Amino acid sequence: MTIREVVKLLDAEILCGQDRLDTEIHTACGSDMMSDVLAYVKDQSVLLTGLLNPQVVRTAEMMDMLCIVFVRGKKPEQSVIDLAAEKGIVLLSTEKRLFVACGILYTNGLGG
């Protein structure tokens, strides 16, 4: 699916990366522990998390991820949004909880 479909499925707000919504994605992961993302994730292109600090963007950048979805209605500070925009990473925010957001994407064909 595309990031645009993720936006629709999660009724998400686009925080940055409006011009990259047609990027194709195939896999995602959900975690609030960046240590675990770095240790266990392989070739996932979307990160769903409730953590808001700049290291979420750094972690995604190191892992070549394309999109971060902040769950539970969370939004990071502008400096974090600016960092993601600079790295070309799409940031989204959804009111849905982590488990529900992951479930919706999984049942709609996004792999783990």
Partner 1 sequence: MDCIRLEYDVDGENFASAGNASESVKRTLKQLGIPPASVRRVAIAMYEGEINMVIHAHGGKAVAEIYPDRIDITLKDTGPGIADIGLAMKAGWSTASENIRSLGFGAGMGLPNMKKYSDEMDIDSVVGVGTTVFLRIRF
Interface characters, 61-90, with partner 1 (x: CB under 8 A): xxxx--------------x-----------
Please report whether residue 107 would count as binding partner 1 according to CB under 8 A: no
Least distance in angstroms from the C-beta of 87 to partner 1: 8
CB hemisphere CA count around 17 (13 angstroms): 28
Question: What is the DSSP secondary-structure string of 12-62?
Answer: PEEEE-GGGTT-B--BEEE-S-HHHHHHH--S--EEEES--SHHHHHHHHH
Q: Cβ of residue 78: shortest distance to partner 1, in angstroms?
A: 13
Out of 2, 53, 78, 108, name the contact with partner 1 by CB under 8 A: 53
Interface residue with partner 1 among 2, 38, 88, 108 (CB under 8 A) is 38
Q: Are 63 and 85 in contact (CB under 8 A)?
A: no
Q: Does 59 contact partner 1 by CB under 8 A?
A: yes
SS3 84: helix
